[in-house]
Structure 1
Amino acid sequence: MTYAPAAPAPAVREQGLPEPVATRLRRPGWRDPRLVTGLVIVALSVACGSWVVSAASRTTPVFVADGALTPGAPLTAESLRTVDVRLGSGTGRYLSAAEPLPADLVVLRVVDDGELVPLTALGADADVRSVSVPVGSGLSDRIRAGVVVDLWFVPEVPVTHEAGAGRPEPATLAKDVVVEQVDAQDGAIVVDGTVTLHVLVPEDSLPTVLAALSDAGTVAVVPVAGGVR
């Protein structure tokens, strides 16, 4: 004999309890504050990223030295060239090529060839004077424009100097002077020959140097260790 399954008993609704209502999620509209806030944040992020990329790729023209610039030399367009650099806020420390070159400026310290020209290296006047110093012996190839040297005076030994008597001692003429220019005959830099150095002597040392140049003796040029300004 086959038995049919019994039908489930009907659910008994408790008296007095409300029937539950299913909650449905609604798609946010354009006036939803959360959607507006999200769009504003995305827009600001895109704008900030674009500004950062643009600022990082922006270049500024500045002047660099076209050859070594030495103290006391007037600043001219012929002694400079222009390059485009990305220095951010540091660009303001250098001479801008986006504006006309200021007039009546001189160099206050050495600016090497190819170096960006800092504003601190320029001024209205330099407290140095260019002096030509003839050197009768060969010089090291370290002696070039921009190198710092000491000037010494070596007195000439008198003809009447007695044997065994003390020789005149060399004396310092000026310390830490900058070589402005080197004039020499072919090969005179490394071998004996006639060499003329143009050095920038501070005004307070000028009388001593000029007196030594007219005295009997020679002027020796001694490079300063690490002496490049």
Structure 2
Amino acid sequence: MPVATSTVPGTSPPSVAPRTARRLQRPGWRDLRLVVGVLLVLLSVAGGTRLVSSLDDTTPVYAAARDLLPGQPVGEDDLVTVPVRMGQQLGHYVDGSAPIQPGTYLVRPVGEGELVPATALGTAREALDKTVGVPVDSVAARSLATGTVVDVWVSRRDGEAVGEAYLEPELLLAGAVVDTVPAETTGLGAGLGRTAVQVVVPADEVGTVIAAVDQEARITLVPSPRDTSGSGR
């Protein structure tokens, strides 16, 4: 039921203040939701940029253009560059952005299409030299170590003598390098008999050294005067 209003004669009705509509205010930088939204957008853009850049993060590495054999020289025509993504493993392979230096040789076989390991390339001597087991006195072997430069002396058997006799020693090979010395030369029982020391021998001298070993000549490895790595001095 409507409520009646009365007015006093001679007076005007009371005025009513008009209502004002609330308007939406534009959010400012202090609005937390706006700040969080902007940060999310920035993080999303940064993540996408990083993803795209990582897709192009490749490094050229050399691969064999054909089957490569040990002992052969390596040139640009023998290799192709392949873009790869390997991370920490990249250092194990030959950098495809650097030119191959003259005088580079294969020291191990690499198949066609195979990435070229850094250990597969070396100098002509590293590629052509061979490792030969040389029996030497166990006591003398104690003074040797990997990398020791030695002169190989040989005393050949005297075929005209009765019993076990040897001729005067002669220099068989100068400047050979010891590759491996058996561990038992310093263990229990060391000094009994002879032990095989692995010596790096130039390719053109391999036959001579093997012949001396097969003829049961007495072989002595003498550390070079310019090398003291195995003598402990």
TM-score normalised by L of structure 1:
0.41
Which structure shows the bigger proportion of residues in helix conformation? 2
Which structure shows the bigger proportion of residues in strand conformation? 1
